[in-house]
Structure 1
Amino acid sequence: MRNIIGQAVSGNDFFERPQIVRKIRRALRAFNWVYLSAPRRVGKTSIMNHLQENPEADQQYVYAITQSIDSVDGFYKELAKQVIDSPAFRTMLKVTDTLKKVASALLQRINLKVSVPFLDLSLDKGEPINFQTDFEKMLEELDLDGGKLIIMVDEFTETIDNIMLKHGKQEARRFLQLFRELTHNRKLTSKVQFLLTGSICLQPLVKKLEVSDLVNQLQYIDVPSLTEDEACSLFRQLIGPEDIQIDEDTIRFTLQKIDWLMPFHVQLLVQEIIDVFESSGNPIDQAKAEQAYQQIFHQRNKIYFEQYYERLKKRLEPGAEYQFVHDVLNRATEESPLEKSVVHDLAVKYGITDNYKATVESLEYEGYLHQTADGTAYRFNSSILKNWWKKYVC
């Protein structure tokens, strides 16, 4: 297994978590539309890659990433592009005249250089089209010979957020309303499903838009952090190609320093373990493991964590809300745990007592904080993120 940091993986580089994959497959077999709920860096895209590479019988997958899209038309245009360019579409044997007409018009407008035998661009009379309605019509006309098309949309929630930031809350609500109507289209029930995910959690976002009812048709599947045993197994597989001598106790000692066992954090730790090994040799004892852990916070790794800070600057309302979150996270690096009463006092200070709980909830969903067992305080999820924040942001 190669240690590929910062990118989605596939094939032999994928660390399979069978329980999560089984949950997703079970939901899809039940014809549910699925939302993978997990913070960034947990490996959601890699899971999608694995599903696409290993489909069950009669399943065909299409992958689309919509991270930069900020309009309703743009979203459905991208989905149309990926579906038309997919083997599932290009190899269909039964094609209706309606499908030819609709898909030909879509193909003409998405600038996709692909040869589809049954499409004829001369059928397009240059009439205006609505990407959302024509995409839905195209899906209705698909004949998959009893199979199912599963459309995976990566960064779905980022698209909602982009639309809200550019066009306002009302347009974001319209986007979700149209998508809900798509999920209830009975002509699609047995042949088309969606698997959605995103780095921004869906629940706080729809709560902010006051439209939680528009996404209650989705089945939510959580992708948790690794267990300690899973993290040890991943660690061993990643150092496998190297001639590194490190015992089980030292591996667990090092992993416990991470706190929150995200696959990416384990990968980053292994990278630094290898660096220490190359400079000082075997065996890797606890002192060398500690050195590797501290190297995670070197300037060269800033790029992996700056997105946590930049995303807050982008998503939060400038002024009071942003200052409140900045202060909460700063205080959480000093006070562990950070009492909820302190968080409330900060909300009073910045004049946002009416909606601060939703803001803090988004920090929980997106992997910054978690509540203590007794529900009275907050802690950073990750000691890595906490130490990085303290060193580079506070």
Structure 2
Amino acid sequence: MPQYQPLTDVLQVLTERLLASENVILSGHRRIGKTQLMQYLEANAPEAFLPTYVIVESADTVDEFYRKLLSHLVDQSFLNRWDALGWQISSRFKTINVQEVGKSVRFGDAKALDYHAEFCRLLEHLEPGRPIVLMLDEFPQALENIRENAGIQHVRKLLTTQRELRQEPRYKGKIRFLYAGSIGLQNVVEGMGFTKHINDLREIKMRPFRRDEARDYLQCLLDKKSLQANDTWLETVMDRIDWLAPFYISLLVDELHASPLAEQHIDEAFQAMIGHRHNFEHWHNRLKPQALTKQEYRFCKTLLSLAADPERLGIDYGEACNLAVQHEVIDKVSRLLNILQHDGYLARDEYNRLRFISPVLRAWWWKEIAN
């Protein structure tokens, strides 16, 4: 892969919000580059705060979630990055005689650690000034895991304790949170009836590449593979991909091998790209339980299959509602359409019809799922 090229406007807004002591949701369609942006910020942050990237996807209890945060903060690779902060954290854990940090954190007397309580005590021990920014990737997936494994009240507990940490005056200047994931946090929380627990967060939206950004990224990928292409060919590739996210551009270039490149190679690469089921299967899996009920899944699958039909120009809202009645989910149609739009399947066109955002994803869905 070439060196990551951040979206400078999005990065600037994100940095400004964090400098303003705000807590943030980084939202955007699946595979649009949220993780790469967070990792870039971690490596190129201003002096005013201390960002660190933590993936919490596997957490399936509230206890495990806070264990992950604690384990990350006491990991030596994190402590070594910040001399003063590392000393504060290390001295705190020396006072409680932590014998092991990892899958299990143990006191010297072998009593179980209350991870949430100890996380709060750690924050109390830190000096304000340069706050830690915990960038929590796949946080929505952790919420769904907790709901499935422990029950919805445990999801409420995690959301309320997180809100308390964001709102507690004692922790101002010590901690900030950035939440992201391949599924939309707002949709997940709304589906559980807990929207009020995140209404203090500021949303920052990712976007696909603009035309000039996509061209630069495409050329960088081709140069890395020593492939030659003229300007007309580059324009044709961008027209064919249309939704100019790094993910789709990278997939197509992965399938190119001839040089100099010609238009026939675009067609061949496109067909090869959608022939790899694993490239897109997560879009299908996201709609299966535990995320949706069987009726909701069948509605979404049918709607997407109709929208993928090359003979159709999209799905209007009335048709979507009729389909929802057939699948007995009419009371949930607004939420389900929000999911399909927010998570990178569909968008409304100039005629207010629902159509696939990406021609690539549309072609794959028609080939692998609809038929």
Q: 2:149 aligns with which of 146, 163, 166?
A: 166
**Paired residue for 2:267, among 290, 293, 302?**
290
Cα distance in 2 for partners of 1:90, 1:221 equals 31
**Is the 8 Å Cα contact of residues 74 and 89 (structure 2) preserved in structure 1?**
no
| Structure 1 residue 14 displacement after superposition | 0.9
Which residue number corresponds to residue 122 of structure 2? 138
**Alpha-carbon deviation of 1:263?**
0.5
Aligned positions, number: 365
Q: 2:34 aligns with which of 26, 31, 44?
A: 44
Structure 2 equivalent of residue 73 of structure 1: 63
Return closer, same or farther for 1:94/1:246 CA change in 2, 3 Å cut-off.
closer
Match of 1:222 in 2: 205
Distance 1:232 1:97, change over 3 A: closer
Partner of 1:8: none
**C-alpha deviation, 1:109, in angstroms:** 6.1
- The answer to whether the Cα contact below 8 Å between 1:102 and 1:138 also exists between their aligned partners in 2 is no
Question: Measured at CA, do residues 90 and 255 of structure 1 come closer, stay the same or move farther in structure 2, by a change above 3 Å?
Answer: same
Deviation per CA, 1:97-133, whole angstroms, max 9, x where unpaired? Answer: 993467644x6464579xxxxxxx8x74444432112
* SS across alignment from 1:67: coil
Query: Following the alignment from structure 2 to structure 1, what is the Cα–Cα distance between the partners of residues 134 and 348?
Result: 34
Distance change >3 Å, CA 97–CA 324, structure 1 → 2:
closer
1:352 is aligned to 329
Please list every run of at least 4 consecutive aligned residues from structure 1 whose deviation after the TM superposition is greater than 6 angstroms.
none
Residues 75-117 of structure 1, C-alpha deviations (whole Å, 9 max, x = no match): 0000000011122577547649993467644x6464579xxxx
Name the CA distance, whole Å, in 2 between partners of 1:233 and 1:271.
Answer: 16
TM-score (norm 2): 0.91
Gap runs ≥5 in structure 1: 4-12, 114-120
Question: What is the CA distance between 1:154 and its match in structure 2?
Answer: 0.8
Distance 1:104 1:366, change over 3 A: farther
Percent identity of equivalent pairs: 26
Aligned to 1:151: 134
Whichever residue aligns with residue 331 of structure 1, its letter is L
1:383 partnered with 2:359:
yes
Contact 2:19–2:49 (CA under 8 A) maintained in structure 1: no
Q: CA deviation at 1:163?
A: 1.1
Give the partner amino acid of 2:159. L
Residue equivalent to 1:19: 9
Match of 1:240, SS?
helix
CA displacement, residues 333-365 of structure 1 (integer Å, 9 cap, x when unaligned): 123211111111111101111112101211111
Q: 2:303 aligns with which of 320, 324, 328?
A: 328
Structure 2 gaps of 5+ residues are: none
Q: Aligned with 1:199: secondary structure?
A: coil
**Alpha carbons 2:252, 2:273 under 8 Å: kept:** yes
- In 2, Cα distance between equivalents of 1:41 and 1:204: 17
Equivalent position to 1:28, from 15, 18, 43: 18
8 Å contact kept, 2:14–2:204: yes
